[in-house]
């Protein structure tokens, strides 16, 4: 285990099981759809790569780079698009893939943004749902696990741009923040 991690909340195996369950639901719902799986970078990178390989359908992938966090652990509420989707979404079914939904500000903004670009449908898929600090009124279509109000890292999730490469998800030792 990494020296900065206090405890592991989701092991590699736990995450694999969650990914497989969500992939089966998506296969069922998107069987007859022409859809784009859109990962929100950078946090969704590990989840997106694992999920897309488990969904046995024809679809395209794309990425948006959006950010609402600075170097800390609280959402600024302002969402910036740093890299837009690279194709037209008009008339397309969009499945957004996210690592975590917390305040909901990021997904609220991105959903409205894609609908304004005339997407046929926009659904949300997140590995982790943290409802305690929700501000925006959003509907999550696929959620892996509900987590309490703790700041988690690993499997794409960072603190100050570190720990994204950990294959598991855990919480940091308090000394890391001081
Ligand atoms: O529901 P919210 O409060 O908006 O928080 C969720 C967002 O925060 C994190 O992204 P961040 O802005 O830290 O960028 P990152 O994906 O590059 O880590 C995470 O990946 C989500 O996109
Ligand atoms: N890394 C990380 N980013 C977040 N963004 C919103 N909540 C979290 C969290 O718990 N961990």
Question: pLDDT at position 72, please?
Answer: 56
Tell how far the Cα of 3 is from the centroid of ligand 2, in angstroms. Answer: 19
What the block records as the tokens of 178 is: 């001081």
DSSP designation for 102: S
Least confident piece of the model among 13-17, 148-152, 153-157: 148-152
Q: The domain 5-68+81-177 is classified under which CATH number: 3.10.129.10, 3.40.50.2020, 2.40.50.140, 3.90.280.10? A: 3.40.50.2020
Q: Which two tokens stand for residue 34?
A: 């022409």
Ligand nearest to the CA of 131: 1
Q: Side-chain half-sphere of 34: how many Cα atoms within 13 Å?
A: 7
> pTM (2 decimals)?
0.93
Q: Whose CA is nearest to atom 6 of ligand 1?
A: 101
Would you please indicate which residues are annotated as catalytic (active-site) residues? 102
Residues 99 and 114: their CA atoms lie apart, in Å, by 18
Kindly give the number of the ligand 1 atom that is closest to the alpha carbon of 156: 18
- Alpha-carbon distance 60 to 58, whole Å? 7
Q: What is the pLDDT of residues 101-138, one digit of tens each?
A: 999 999 999 999 999 999 999 999 999 999 999 999 99
Quote the pLDDT of residue 73: 59
Report the complex ipTM.
0.95
Pocket test for ligand 2, best of 100, 127, 154 (most atoms within 8 A of CB): 100
> CA 145 from chain center: how many Å?
12
Give me the residue label for tokens 């603190």. Answer: 159
Cβ-in-10-Å burial (0-12, 13-18, 19+) of 173 comes to middle
Model pLDDT for residues 8-32, shown as the tens digit of each residue = 999 999 999 999 999 999 999 999 9
Rounded distance between C-alpha atoms, residue 165 and residue 144, angstroms = 19
């Amino acid at each position: 285990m990494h020296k900065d991690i206090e405890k592991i909340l989701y092991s590699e195996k736990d995450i694999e099981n969650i990914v497989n369950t969500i992939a089966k639901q998506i296969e069922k719902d998107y069987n007859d759809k022409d859809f784009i799986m859109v990962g929100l970078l950078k946090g969704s990178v590990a989840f997106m790569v694992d999920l897309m390989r488990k969904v046995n359908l024809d679809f395209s992938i794309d990425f948006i780079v959006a950010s609402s966090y600075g170097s800390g652990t609280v959402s600024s509420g302002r969402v910036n698009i740093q890299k837009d989707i690279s194709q037209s979404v008009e008339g397309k079914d969009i499945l957004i893939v996210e690592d975590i939904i917390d305040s909901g500000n990021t997904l609220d903004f991105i959903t409205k943004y894609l609908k304004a670009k005339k997407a046929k449908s926009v659904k949300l898929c997140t590995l982790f749902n943290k409802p305690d600090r929700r501000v925006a009124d959003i509907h999550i279509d696929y959620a892996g696990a509900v987590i309490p109000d703790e700041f988690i890292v690993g499997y794409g999730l960072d603190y100050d741009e570190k720990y994204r490469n950990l294959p598991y998800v855990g919480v940091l030792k308090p000394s890391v923040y001081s």
